[in-house]
Amino acid sequence: MPAVEPRVELLAHTPEPLSLIYAAFRQCYHSGAAADMWPRLLSGEISREKQAEFVASVLASGHASPAEHVSFTFALSGVSRALTHQLVRHRIASYSQQSQRYVDASAMEYVMPPAIARLPEARERFARFMEEVGAAYSDLKEMLEAAGRGASAKEDARFVLPQAAASNIVVTMNCRALINFFEHRCCTRAQWEIRAVANRMLEHCRAVLPELFRHAGAKCEGLGYCPEGPKFTCGRYPLPEE
């Protein structure tokens, strides 16, 4: 039952993402059809620089809905149930998560908070408790199986599993939802695990679509000031003037 580290992999994204967002934006202001414009975008007749400039200018005006036409799909593994409970609060997304009802957790992996890992006594106590949980799960599953629960034993034994239990989840978000996700979860006030995962997701997005995600991140980075107020600010950006 080892401790594991989060892993973030980009599985897929919408092809030609910049051109698709450009075409969607242009359709809103163009009398012609986006389908007629599409070959010009793919051939390079309308340069990537021109596309990026137009997309940036329209996004700056607050018109963001065409960015919803492009999506990214990530595989997150070795993340805690504590993280996935936060992740699924971002509602404009699709999720497919490993089921504790069907997947045997007898050899449960877990996520250990860095603050605990740095303290030898805390690390040892945490690891010992995870072993205790794993043993309790296995014992309960065996008892339930012996009592006739069969394959359904796992769905009852899982009630002893902690938030630290590692999980795997596939998540798909469109670009508009991702920008909002990064605004909240890349902030230093976000919980450490989901912040680390969000930062890795942002790296993948920037590699594919830098024109859109170059300035994405914590909300303060786009605003140029901290919107959290004097009680919660980390001090990286100034507070808004009164």
Cβ(189)–Cβ(232) below 8 Å: yes
The one catalytic residue in 81, 185, 200, 236 is: 185
3-state secondary structure of 186: coil
Q: Which residues pair with 167 in a beta bridge?
A: 79
Q: What is the DSSP letter of 168?
A: E
Q: How far is CA 51 from CA 26, 120, 197, 210, in A?
A: 10, 54, 30, 12
Helix, strand, coil abundance in the chain, percent, nearest 5: 50, 15, 35
Sorted by sequence, the CB contacts under 8 Å of residue 140 that are 6+ apart come out as 153, 156, 157, 160
Is residue 185 part of the annotated active site? The answer reads: yes
Identity (one letter) of the amino acid at 5? Answer: E
Instruction: Provide the edge-to-edge strand list for the sheet that holds 166-174.
Output: 7-13, 71-80, 166-174, 94-97
> Looking up tokens 């009802």, which residue turns up?
101
**Count of alpha carbons within 13 Å of 165, Cβ hemisphere only?**
23
Catalytic residues: 185
